[in-house]
Amino acid sequence: MGDNAAGLLTVATVLIALAVCYRPLGDWMAHVFTTQRHWRIERLVYRSVGVDPDAEQGGRTYALAVLAFSFAGIVVLAALLMLQGVLPGFHPRAWRIDEALNTAISFVTNTNWQWYSGESQMNNIAQTLGLVVQNFASAAVGIAVAIALVRGFVRQHTDRLGNFWVDITRCIIRVLLPISVVAAVILLSQGALETLWQRTDITTLAGGHQTLTGGLVASQESIKILGTNGGGFFNANSAHPYENPNALTNAFEVFLLLVIPFALPRTFGNMVGNHKQGYAILGAMSSIFIVSLGLSTWAQLAGEGTASHAAGAPLEGQEYQFGQWATSMFATATTSTSTGAVNAAHDSLTPGSGGMALVNMCLGEISPGGVGSGLYGMLVIAVITVFISGLMVGRTPEYLGKKIRRQEITLASLYILVMPTVVLVGTGFAIGQGWGRAALNNSGPHGLSEVFYAYASATNNNGSAFAGISVDTRWFDYTLGAAMLLGRFVPMILVLLLAQSLSRQQKVPITAGTIPTHRPLFVTMTVGVVLLVAGLTFVPALALAPISEAAL
């Protein structure tokens, strides 16, 4: 079978698997967040932390709970990382406070930006009790905020959006844990590593010395992918055979990346009582994803240059067993879902393919986006789309029976402005400083692409990087950490305030003048708003970086 035929078959298999899981997983998540019944193990959790599971929270209280929980996670994880030298087992060098804070912020914000090599600079206990725990927690926070926004569309005459502590507990116990356990077993069966020892020194037959690296890899890999986290146990991330052993696991990991984000529109349709609305959101997400995948694959297959033609493809920085199709599919999935896991060095992608990875992040990672963040990001885009549509026909815009008034559109507009502001200001500041330029291993457009990509990745809570930039400096640790915090929590607060504003309203009846938000025309307009907002904001920067690089 030819490479193109095998690639097409792999893509088709992943898409079919996602379609099969769309309904059952989406319906199950809707049940998880709407049922009144608490499991016994969940009640034990609530009693241990002093939470009344039947008391609900307003938007502001819900937001404060998100911030308090996340801030506590940053403090605990940073302390654990700085104390690695006294933990049992392998003792890496002591981490500076800026390094520990950067990594703690990275994992708590679901970014998983890594400046370090996990196998050589992290203790097994810190990896497992620190990073893996936050992989579950940060993913659950994103889904909880998305569910709170959906409740805002459903409820009337109240500011109650649910209970944050109940939402994250149910999400972890009923959704993330079961799937990740099954996924870890599948990865383990294919050759992923899962050992209690981390480093073993052996003497080879030739009399030399070699260090074998082990650890609890499969269990970290499963939630790293499922929760759209992205932080790898090994420096090579999902290009390492202990994390991603073969072509089958590569396709399986792409499936895991996409399954929850693509199933959440079904959850949304179920909770609002109209599955057509869920299909509309799914249609907008899928359209952008498929076009991005096609363009990225085409750019990668059409790689120019003498070396590329001699090798049959641009293979620098790639795991040979995956090939061009699987590399492009993984790169598209990881940058469309705020994951950051990589099975190849994005710095070595062709300018067109690397540019598409950057565009995926600049679009706000809503195709389908991270777990939770993709759904609430697309719903904010839908609010803006219906507002623009209402202006066109001279009617007060409505979405799912809720009027989009000045307060709602202000919150939605601020949400849209946060990410590009942080990305462009951060990039401009870094490239204008000596410490920023000194970190570059490439000059010209590619060097600008590296800095641009770094701040886009941090602000969008993605975590992938162009490998040609050296970011283990205090300035990059602090500025990228700030970008992660602003890119994660400011939009979340705005989403929760939007949800509270919507939940206080009374639903208005559908009339002949109501704009249908479940038809192909609205889906097309939503995609157009996504491209228009990103295009107006980022085209100048893209023209200076990957576009000009591709033209050289």
Query: 159-217, pLDDT tens digit by residue?
Result: 999 999 999 999 999 999 999 999 999 999 999 989 887 777 777 777 777 777 788 89
pLDDT surpassing 70 at residue 309: no
pLDDT at 305: 43
- With bands split at pLDDT 50, 70 and 90, how would you rate the model's confidence at 310? very low
Closest CA relative to residue 381, chosen from 285, 245, 477, 254: 285
Averaged pLDDT for residues 134-146: 97
Burial tier of 172 (Cβ tally within 10 Å: 0-12, 13-18, 19+): buried
| Full 3-state SS string of 308-365 | HHHHCCCCCCECCCCHHHHHHHHHHHHHHCCCCCCCECHHHCCHHHHHHHHHHHHCCC
Instruction: Please report the pLDDT score of residue 546 as a whole number.
Output: 63
Give the tokens for residue 268: 């949304």
Q: Which residues pair with 141 in a beta bridge?
A: none
Q: What is the pLDDT of residue 235?
A: 86
The first and second tokens of residue 403, run together, are 């009027």
Structural domain spans, the chain: 3-551
* Whether residue 66 has pLDDT greater than 80: yes
- Would you say 137 and 172 are in contact if contact means Cβ atoms under 8 Å apart? yes
pLDDT at position 307, please? Answer: 40
Residue 122 has pLDDT above 90, yes or no: no
Percent of the chain scoring above 90 in pLDDT: 60
pLDDT the model gives residue 11: 93
Task: Answer yes or no: are the C-beta atoms of 328 and 346 closer than 8 Å.
Answer: no
Q: What is the DSSP letter of 34?
A: T
Greatest mean pLDDT among 245-249, 302-306, 453-457: 245-249
What pLDDT shows up at residue 466?
Answer: 75
Map residue 86 onto helix, strand or coil: helix
40 half-sphere exposure, CB direction, 13 A CA radius: 0
Q: What DSSP element (H or E) covers 405?
A: none
Region at 91 (left for phi over 0; alpha for psi -120 to 50; beta for the rest): beta
Average pLDDT value for the chain = 88
